[in-house]
Chains A and B, each alone.
Chain A
Amino acid sequence: EPEVTQTPSHQVTQMGQEVILRCVPISNHLYFYWYRQILGQKVEFLVSFYNNEISEKSEIFDDQFSVERPDGSNFTLKIRSTKLEDSAMYFCASSVWENTGELFFGEGSRLTVL
């Protein structure tokens, strides 16, 4: 069964450092997303991406965040200068169509900012 893969599974970084989280969406999917979940809290939408541009973003997705699809397979989330409150599980997701409600999520990347 095709799946969304994410790397790294866990990253520890110092406050102020840049972090790049990587995702390989399912190959025939066209819509890509990043969500995050702070420990013990809700899953929160960050950004959606289609046709090499951001479709929608939440208030969380401020200027410190950026997304990119550098090639035909990877989808990355960059945090320019990490803060303690960025510590969370970051989930990448993809879908075939925008209007299905059926997103396929990866296993997540745990980010710990010290």
Chain B
Amino acid sequence: LAKTTQPISMDSYEGQEVNITCSHNNIATNDYITWYQQFPSQGPRFIIQGYKTKVTNEVASLFIPADRKSSTLSLPRVSLSDTAVYYCLVGDKGSQGNLIFGKGTKLSVKP
């Protein structure tokens, strides 16, 4: 499974767009990129998944460059309730049940 590197923490203010970048230099051809969100004392929650280019849903956008060695989770107009830890996971869809979580990025949104 490809190793991922994310910033340990980020600060933002309400209403701003937040971009969290994840590096995965050793990503394999069959690997997908998945992002989860976790609030304190709660289980992780799936946000978005992609393979290449751009994916958008009602919560976020995921940008993946052509070389796929990194990806950026974009949260539009964050609110205080977006304060959480965000995890970037990379793996073959065949192994996606066995999710390997790193330390994630702790996002703090301030008023």
Chain A interface (Cβ < 8 Å from any Cβ of B): 4, 31, 33, 35, 42-45, 48, 55-56, 58, 89, 91, 93, 95, 98-108, 110
* Residue pair B98, A108 in contact (C-beta under 8 Å): no
Task: Label chain A's interface by main secondary structure.
Answer: strand
- Residues of chain B touching chain A, judged by Cβ–Cβ distance below 8 Å, are 32, 34, 38, 41-46, 49, 87, 89, 91, 93-94, 96-103
Could you tell me the distance between the alpha carbons of A81 and B103 in the complex, rounded to whole angstroms? 29
Is the pair B98, A45 in contact by a Cβ cutoff of 8 Å?
A: yes
Give Cα A52 to B101, complex, Å. Answer: 26
B101 — which chain A residues lie within 8 A by C-beta?
Answer: 42-44
A residues in contact with B97, CB < 8 Å: 31, 33, 48, 55-56, 95, 98, 103
Q: Which of chain B's residues have a CB closer than 8 A to the CB of A103?
A: 44, 46, 96-97, 99
Chain A residues, Cβ within 8 Å of B98 = 45, 48, 56, 58
Complex Cα gap A91–B39 (Å): 13
Tell whether A100 pairs with B96 under 8 Å between CB atoms, given A42-B102, A43-B101, A44-B101.
yes
A45 and B99: CB pair below 8 A?
A: yes
